[in-house]
Chain A
Amino acid sequence: MSTLMSGARMLLECLSREGVDCMFGYPGGVTLPLYDVLYDHPLRHVLVRHEENAAFAAEGYARATGKVGVCCATSGPGATNLTTGLVDAMMDSIPIVAITGQVSTKLIGSDAFQEADTFGITRSCTKHNYLVKTLEDLPQIVHEAFYVAASGRPGPVLVDIPKDVFQAQGHYSHVTAIHLPGYKVFTEGHTGQIRRALQLIQKAERALVYGGGGIIAADASVELREFVERTHFPAVNTLMGLGALPSEHPNFISMPGMHGSYAANMAMSNADLLIALGVRFDDRVTGRLAAFAPHAKVIHVDIDPAEIGKNRAPDVPIVGDVKRVLTKFNEALAENRKADGGLEAARNAWWSQIRRWKQEHPLQPVTSDTEIKPQHLMTEIDRLSQGRAIVTSDVGQHQMWAAQLVRFGEPRLWINSGGLGAMGFGLPSAIGAQFARPDKLVFAVVGDGGFQMSIPELATIAAYGLPVKIVVMNNGYLGMVRQWQELFYNNRLSAVELDCFPDAEKLAGAYGFKGRTIDKPWELAAALETAVNEPGPYLLNVKVSPAECVYPMVPAGGAINEMVLGPPQPVAAK
């Protein structure tokens, strides 16, 4: 017979059994019983400085490892602060479990101190959520939460626990099975559809693999690699899929979409077969949907049936785990070697065409003798990373340049807020990633805007001595918004200038670590090396040329082959 324990201890028991070694949180009134048990519990609690960042850190942990990230907040403001992170995890299908405290069951609905309707508020922010009404339900719910978060299409799950449930005494009863009759997970893929897909694959002349975050979530990089090598098909990886195929792989073109490369977008637009793997035909990838991949038949593999046909009706829909489906593709391809038949010439011509597009408009490292170009900064980070470092980012220009120019040799290195596009994500997610992967060099590549949204977390980095290298791409603007105002709003720059950035050396110094500001291109390489060689954290504020815009660019509503490849040429004087 198990021992009598409090709900708080029972929660930690559940977490331990789920293999949780680290959680990110912030205490408060109703979670006092939980924090009292944490006081001498082996589970590591990381104290962040804002609950939103607890969720982002849990995401960073999950994105870097594939394990479920855990965050914790108190009732009311603690829970509401988590929501941005929950939506972020929802949009990017990241498995996290959020534990929130709630006022005691008797007080729920009475507008008690620090009460908020967390269950109601987070309904649309989560894959599923729970309000635990009695201690008896706690183990079943917590184990269910981990199962739901990690299985199928991963996502955030929230468990709201009232204070009296934390305090109640009970016995932990082992949960042997999860019974969720309505939660259907389709993994295998329909045999008939897989056969039809293979027929298209065998017949295609201009095939293109369009791989996304689902490849990484399904841990299917090896299978993807085998697939492109067996078929010799070119591949693009979306923003969420970078690293699914190594950037250096000969079959890899680059990222498609609004700021994707010319070659990737042209390949999308001219392919006769798109093999869409773990992607959702996001508007940032497809541009104007009606003009997207107009010549292509589409095979769409996704574990979420609701993604199939949501934006583009596929010719062959396959609901399944992309790892399982790719394995089946590969097995069939291994048996059947006659594939290429009379298609070799056409397929070679397709490859030559792609190579020509690559040569015509490569993603080029832009440099200058007088100022640091943002692209220069990214290529220097790339040089130090060599495809091996973890790079986190916020959203905006720096994110796009990093995605274009930093190479990733494996999955789970590129950590960014893709779907939600949340500023302030880069720094806290780097904290989570560094805890998850202490062996890895972690760059938090952030803009001056996003950095200032997450400045409180410098304290967390300092307190835990995390060797995160914070690189601020500082152009003095909310760069991406400025870019749009410049290009589409007659250059009327409204509320985008970020004056008064703190002195990086003093700021880092105030937290007890090193920092520096640079603005000369010849200082860049050495300054980054110094940051990397510093055993602890480092804040490098890089003042880049303020006026740079991200290209190529597909204007909103445009087709992706209608790219703007560079800044408008100055009009000749009359």
Chain B
Amino acid sequence: MLQIISLLVENKPGALMRVTGLLTQRGYNIESLTVARTLDPELSRMTIAVEVDSALRQQVIKQMNKLINVLQAVDLSDSPAVIRELVLVRVRTAQETRQAVLKEAEIFGGRVVDSSTEGFAIEVTGDPEKLNEFVDVMRSYGEIDVTRSGALAIALEAKKLRLQPPVPTKGPAKVEETIQ
């Protein structure tokens, strides 16, 4: 089963590398990864879907929490959370099946974002499983191109965010520089 990890990280160069490095150094393949800024521009929210041996899941979360740039890493796999993904599909379709494609898109709650004589570009959001079905259905109508955002997740129960307060540096400031 995929593990869904949600992280709150400092929006700094290298933060992404540190997080993914923990997974790649253990030989885990990342299925999907999304990162974007939060309301606080100094922080980013990251959602990772990754296949991790069940015995090591907790260890991976602990290692992520140890990273200096990570404020919080939580495993959302087994806790109440909403997981959504966006897919963009371009489908080439013949004149006679255009109506059927639009109907299908409507069933999946999709939105046509481009229409041409060649076919449509459609966006759908939803549960990743449901998007798989949508992609399968579209494929039955003709040649398709697919881009997926990867899973985005939000926990339904707020986890207490414990942050380290600033630590005063030791010793008074030296008045003069050591050497001019």
Task: Please determine whether A184 and B180 come into contact, CB atoms closer than 8 angstroms.
Answer: no
Contact-residue bracket for chain B:
20 to 34
Task: Please determine whether B164 and A181 come into contact, CB atoms closer than 8 angstroms.
Answer: yes
Task: Please determine whether A180 and B68 come into contact, CB atoms closer than 8 angstroms.
Answer: yes
Chain B residue at minimal CB-CB distance from A130:
B14
Chain A residue at minimal CB-CB distance from B60:
A306
Task: Please determine whether B59 and A306 come into contact, CB atoms closer than 8 angstroms.
Answer: yes
- A123 and B178 in contact (CB under 8 A), knowing A181-B163, A182-B68, A306-B63? no
Please measure, in the bound complex, the distance between the C-alpha atom of A182 and the C-alpha atom of B7, giving whole angstroms.
Answer: 11
Task: Please determine whether A178 and B71 come into contact, CB atoms closer than 8 angstroms.
Answer: no
A110-154 interface with B by 8 A CB criterion: 119-120, 123-124, 127-129, 131, 143, 147-148
Question: Among A13, A16, A184, which residue has the most Cβ atoms of chain B within 10 A?
Answer: A184
Say if the beta carbon of A383 comes within 8 Å of chain B. no
Say if the beta carbon of B41 comes within 8 Å of chain A. no
Say if the beta carbon of B9 comes within 8 Å of chain A. yes
CB distance from A34 to the nearest CB of B (A): 14
- A177 and B167 in contact (CB under 8 A), knowing A5-B177, A41-B179, A184-B162? yes
- Residues of chain A within 8 A of B163, CB atoms compared: 181-182, 184
B139-180 interface with A by 8 A CB criterion: 162-164, 166-169, 171, 173-174, 177-180
- Residues of chain A within 8 A of B65, CB atoms compared: 184, 305-306
Say if the beta carbon of B69 comes within 8 Å of chain A. yes
- Residues of chain B within 8 A of A143, CB atoms compared: 169
Task: Flag B14-30 by CB within 8 Å of A: 1 or 0 each.
Answer: 10011001000100000
CB distance from B67 to the nearest CB of A (A): 7
Please measure, in the bound complex, the distance between the C-alpha atom of A127 and the C-alpha atom of B168, giving whole angstroms.
Answer: 21
Say if the beta carbon of A338 comes within 8 Å of chain B. no
Say if the beta carbon of B70 comes within 8 Å of chain A. yes
B48-88 interface with A by 8 A CB criterion: 58-59, 62-63, 65-72
Task: Please determine whether B66 and A147 come into contact, CB atoms closer than 8 angstroms.
Answer: no
- Residues of chain B within 8 A of A131, CB atoms compared: 13-14
- A177 and B67 in contact (CB under 8 A), knowing A42-B179, A123-B21? no
- Residues of chain B within 8 A of A195, CB atoms compared: none
Say if the beta carbon of A179 comes within 8 Å of chain B. yes
Please measure, in the bound complex, the distance between the C-alpha atom of A181 and the C-alpha atom of B43, giving whole angstroms.
Answer: 11
Say if the beta carbon of B10 comes within 8 Å of chain A. yes
Task: Flag A2-46 by CB within 8 Å of B: 1 or 0 each.
Answer: 110100010011001100000000000000000000001110000
Interface of A is mostly: loop
- A42 and B178 in contact (CB under 8 A), knowing A178-B166, A178-B167? yes
A171-193 interface with B by 8 A CB criterion: 172, 174-185
Chain A residue at minimal CB-CB distance from B64:
A306
Question: Among B63, B68, B178, which residue has the most Cβ atoms of chain A within 10 A?
Answer: B68
CB distance from A472 to the nearest CB of B (A): 36
Task: Please determine whether B174 and A182 come into contact, CB atoms closer than 8 angstroms.
Answer: no
Task: Please determine whether B169 and A175 come into contact, CB atoms closer than 8 angstroms.
Answer: yes
Say if the beta carbon of A304 comes within 8 Å of chain B. yes
- A182 and B169 in contact (CB under 8 A), knowing A5-B177, A13-B178, A123-B14? no
Chain B residue at minimal CB-CB distance from A41:
B179
Chain B residue at minimal CB-CB distance from A153:
B66
- A180 and B179 in contact (CB under 8 A), knowing A131-B13, A304-B66? no
Task: Please determine whether A40 and B174 come into contact, CB atoms closer than 8 angstroms.
Answer: no
- A148 and B14 in contact (CB under 8 A), knowing A3-B177, A172-B177, A184-B162? no
Residues on B facing A (Cβ under 8 Å): 9-10, 13-14, 17-18, 21, 25, 58-59, 62-63, 65-72, 162-164, 166-169, 171, 173-174, 177-180
Residues on A facing B (Cβ under 8 Å): 2-3, 5, 9, 12-13, 16-17, 40-42, 119-120, 123-124, 127-129, 131, 143, 147-148, 172, 174-185, 304-306, 309-310
The 3 A-B residue pairs with the shortest CB-CB distance, nearest first, are A306-B62, A174-B173, A177-B166
Enumerate 12 A-B pairs (CB-CB under 8 Å) in ascending A order: A2-B177, A16-B174, A16-B178, A41-B179, A119-B14, A123-B17, A123-B21, A147-B169, A174-B173, A178-B167, A180-B68, A310-B59
